[in-house]
């Protein structure tokens, strides 16, 4: 049985791809793209795919932080407010000091967001407040501070220097800077979650908190760390957002956190903790990006767009669940066959 | 410990009361806007404050964080509990606020709408920033001139439920029926919900769905500046023309780079001023909001209350103002 399979290299490769947790979402993305492409061929042009990735860059970055929090079994509702507050503070700084390097602003976004996130992290890890309550409170607090520091005013395009706006319009090797930033984040966090001790400890904490504590993992530190990272990446997303739209508003990204959670869940991250991968989040975010990019292009009534958005997300989730179940069943059967081959019936 | 807490509570309460000015003299006028943190409404608030100071009234400025009906209802309930004397509201929905506003009027509060109207049942009078017909026509005329009376155009609006947006769009469609626009076609009406990312995406979607698009009208401040940014990013400056209703501070960049040749707006400081002034006069009983009444609104001069298109009465601020490369610099720092 095993020998036969090893001869069919291609088949094994195919079944290997099918065995991936992310298989369902990959199929869904392909089918969705073809359907939209039939409706409007411009959707499948490189120019549009690039636009779509640029628009999704902030979501991609923020979703990584959200994933880490979700993996520990928490949730970070404050991500959108951290994004808005960091964006606003960045806008104010760049308005008053237009000579500052945009690269420095990116680093500032990471640090400032990380500071906000670490406060949230302390409330959750040391204060032992339930994540949903703690981050809901911080969501309001940070949004309120956004209004306070901006005094209700917006930072407009003409108040930002060209160099800062070029952060979003500039390109490296044909790719927008924003895509490059997102790519760097994904490479770093792929390595972090898959190959470092601390990264693996995050999964341990999410799978079984008590067990993690008993084997000597500093669970309070890990909990604090994921909120700090989520804050830092939201802050980075804030700088990207403000540069992208050349405008810092108080209501920037209001309601964005639901999109971020949706992207994670579509990518196979478990809300109850313990499971979730960086490639999954990448695919989940791209699915959301495709929906946002395609809806204005398919020429349907605006009143249908909203319902359609919900339907697409629902179908994606259903496909995901169905495929995951299928995979589990196949793997179970394989294990059973293996057992029979080894030990007989 | 308990005593300390009690004292602390008292101090907080007293200072709150002092800050909110409930015990000061004059009428208390509450201005409720679609959402706070929007520079347009911040400018309205400056005008409202000014009018209230002139009349010796107190001014409260409030709005929900996001433009929702629920948020506005909550604030109106608060206003009723606070026993304000008048409410000036820019409504997020034409009908949804009527029950709670009726409740306010029943408790003796003078209710007027401004900027975005509520159903006449829920108000005494509406302070209209400009004639809806005039606003709709002006924007169509402007875009027609820019594109040479020929080609596809699209409208990028805010939310599909917003009263003022829909009325303007209706008048735009009326105006387009004129034979001189025979070679122009309204290809699409899309909604960006006054969210920057969504408006931007909708504008980008327009370029991709309608490759022959010549012009966009966006009668909303977030929409028009997001569309200008989209035109700039897509490299379509000069190919797709843009006009609409915008804020000079936000549009300065896009007028200078050519993405938007001209746009319109009334003066929001004057609008807030007139609304708060009318509310003050209603409290004094100088006017009642009936058709034909005349009054003098401080520095803005004489006004007459007239019948409005929705069956109620209104006060008209004046014609919209055109902003373009010749005057954007003097206005961009004003609002």
Name the residue in chain A with its Cα closest to that of B35.
A251
Question: Chain B partners of A48 at a C-beta cutoff of 8 Å?
Answer: 208
**Residue located via tokens 């204005």:** A296
Give residue-wise pLDDT tens across range B208-252: 999 999 999 999 999 999 999 999 999 999 999 999 999 898 899
- Using CA atoms, how far residue B165 sits from A188, A251, B76, B190, B271, in Å, is 46, 20, 23, 12, 17
Look at residue A205 in the predicted model and tell me its pLDDT. Answer: 95
Give the span between the Cα atoms of A320 and A284, in whole angstroms: 11
In the predicted model, what is the mean pLDDT of chain B? 88
DSSP B38: -
Q: Can you give the pLDDT at residue A144?
A: 94
Contact B252 A156 (CB under 8 A): yes
Contacts of A152 in chain B (CB under 8 A): 36-37, 39, 42
Q: What residues contact residue B250 under an 8 Å CB cut-off, 6+ apart?
A: A154, A156, A157, A247, B39, B221, B225
Task: Report CB contact under 8 Å: A156, B249.
Answer: yes
> Judged by CB atoms within 8 Å, which residues 224-253 of A form the interface with B?
241, 245-247, 249-253
The CATH number given to A2-343 is 1.10.3470
Give me the half-sphere count of Cα atoms (radius 13 Å) on the Cβ side of residue B47. Answer: 28
With 0.95 as the threshold, say if the pTM is over it: no
CA distances from residue B135 to B30, B132, B141, B171 in whole angstroms, order as listed? 27, 5, 10, 8
Predicted local distance difference test score (pLDDT) of residue B43: 87
**B127 CA to chain A: closest CA distance, Å?**
24
Domain ranges within chain A, ordered by starting residue: 2-343
- Tens digits of residue pLDDT in B138-197: 999 999 999 999 999 999 999 888 888 888 999 999 999 999 999 999 999 999 988 899
One digit per residue, the tens of pLDDT, for chain A of length 345 reads: 444 555 555 555 555 555 566 788 888 899 999 999 998 888 999 989 999 999 999 999 999 999 999 999 999 999 999 999 999 999 999 999 999 999 999 999 999 999 999 999 999 999 999 999 999 999 999 999 999 999 878 898 889 999 999 998 889 888 999 999 999 999 999 999 999 999 999 999 999 999 999 999 999 999 999 999 999 999 999 999 999 999 999 889 988 999 999 999 989 898 888 889 999 999 999 999 999 888 888 888 777 877 888 888 888 888 877 877 777 788 788 888 888 877 765
**Predicted pLDDT of residue A275:** 87
Q: What is the complex's ipTM, to 2 decimals?
A: 0.74
Q: How far is B322 from chain A (nearest CA, A)?
A: 19
Phi and psi (nearest 5°) for B126?
-115, 135
Alpha-carbon distances, residue A39 vs A32, A53, A227, B273 (angstroms) = 11, 20, 41, 50
pLDDT (0 to 100) of residue B11: 61
A162 lies within 8 A of chain B by CB: no
Residue with tokens 């394989």: A334
The answer, yes or no, to whether residue B21 has pLDDT greater than 50, is no
């Amino acid at each position: 049985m095993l020998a036969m399979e090893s001869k069919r290299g291609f088949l094994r490769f195919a079944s290997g791809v099918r065995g991936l947790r992310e298989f369902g979402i990959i199929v869904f993305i392909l089918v969705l793209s073809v359907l939209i492409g039939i409706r409007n061929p411009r959707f499948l042009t490189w120019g549009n795919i690039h636009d779509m990735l640029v628009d999704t860059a902030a979501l991609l970055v923020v979703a990584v932080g959200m994933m880490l929090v979700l993996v520990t079994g928490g949730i970070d509702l404050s991500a959108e407010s951290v994004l808005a507050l960091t964006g606003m503070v960045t806008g104010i700084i760049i308005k008053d000091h237009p000579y500052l390097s945009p690269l420095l602003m990116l680093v500032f976004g990471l640090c400032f967001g990380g500071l906000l996130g670490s406060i949230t992290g302390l409330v959750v890890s040391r204060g032992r407040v339930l994540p949903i309550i703690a981050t809901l409170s911080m969501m309001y607090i940070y949004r309120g501070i956004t209004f306070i520091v901006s005094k209700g005013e917006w930072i407009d395009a003409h108040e930002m220097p060209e160099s800062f706006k070029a952060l979003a319009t500039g390109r490296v090797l044909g790719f927008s800077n924003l895509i490059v930033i997102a790519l760097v984040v994904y490479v770093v966090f792929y390595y972090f979650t898959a190959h470092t001790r601390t990264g693996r400890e995050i999964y341990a904490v999410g799978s079984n908190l008590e067990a993690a504590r008993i084997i000597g993992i500093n669970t309070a530190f890990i909990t604090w760390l994921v909120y700090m990272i989520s804050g830092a990446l939201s802050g980075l997303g804030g700088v990207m957002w403000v540069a992208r739209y050349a405008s810092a508003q108080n209501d920037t990204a209001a309601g964005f956190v639901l999109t971020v959670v949706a992207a994670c869940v579509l990518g196979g991250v478990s809300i109850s903790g313990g499971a979730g991968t960086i490639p999954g989040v990448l695919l989940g975010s791209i699915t959301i990006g495709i929906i946002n990019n395609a809806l204005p292009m398919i020429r349907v009534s605006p009143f249908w767009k909203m319902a359609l958005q919900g339907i697409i997300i629902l179908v994606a989730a259903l496909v995901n669940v169905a495929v995951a179940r299928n995979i589990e069943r196949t793997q179970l059967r394989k294990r059973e066959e293996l057992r029979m081959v080894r030990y007989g019936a | 410990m308990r005593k300390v807490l009690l004292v602390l509570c008292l101090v907080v309460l007293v200072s709150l009361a002092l800050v909110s000015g409930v015990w000061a003299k004059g009428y208390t006028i509450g201005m409720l806007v679609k959402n706070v943190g929007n520079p347009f409404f911040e400018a309205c608030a400056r005008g409202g404050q000014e009018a209230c100071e002139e009349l010796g009234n107190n001014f409260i400025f409030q709005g929900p964080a996001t433009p929702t009906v629920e948020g506005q209802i909550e604030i109106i309930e608060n206003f009723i509990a606070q026993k304000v004397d008048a409410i000036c509201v820019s409504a997020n929905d034409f009908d949804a606020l009527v029950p709670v506003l009726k409740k306010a009027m029943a408790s003796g509060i003078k209710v007027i709408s401004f900027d975005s109207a509520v159903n006449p049942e829920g108000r005494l009078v509406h302070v209209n920033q400009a004639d809806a017909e005039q606003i709709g026509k002006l924007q169509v005329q402007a875009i027609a001139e820019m594109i040479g009376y020929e080609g596809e155009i699209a409208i990028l609006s805010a939310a599909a439920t917003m009263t003022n947006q829909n009325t303007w769009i209706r008048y735009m469609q009326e105006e387009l029926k004129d034979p001189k626009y025979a070679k122009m076609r309204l290809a699409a009406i899309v909604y960006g919900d006054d969210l920057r990312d969504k408006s931007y995406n909708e504008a980008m979607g327009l370029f991709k769905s309608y490759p022959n698009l010549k012009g966009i009208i966006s009668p909303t401040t977030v929409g028009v500046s997001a569309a200008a940014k989209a035109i700039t990013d897509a490299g379509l400056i000069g190919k797709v023309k843009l006009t609409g209703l915008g804020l000079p501070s936000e549009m300065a960049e896009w007028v200078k780079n050519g993405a938007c040749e001209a746009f319109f707006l009334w003066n929001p400081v004057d609008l807030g001023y007139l609304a708060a002034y009318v509310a003050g006069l209603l409290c004094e009983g100088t006017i009642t909001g009936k058709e034909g009444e005349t009054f003098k609104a401080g520095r803005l001069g004489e006004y007459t209350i007239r019948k409005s298109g929705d069956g109620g009465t209104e006060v008209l601020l004046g014609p919209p103002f055109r902003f373009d490369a010749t005057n954007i610099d003097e206005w961009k720092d004003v609002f």
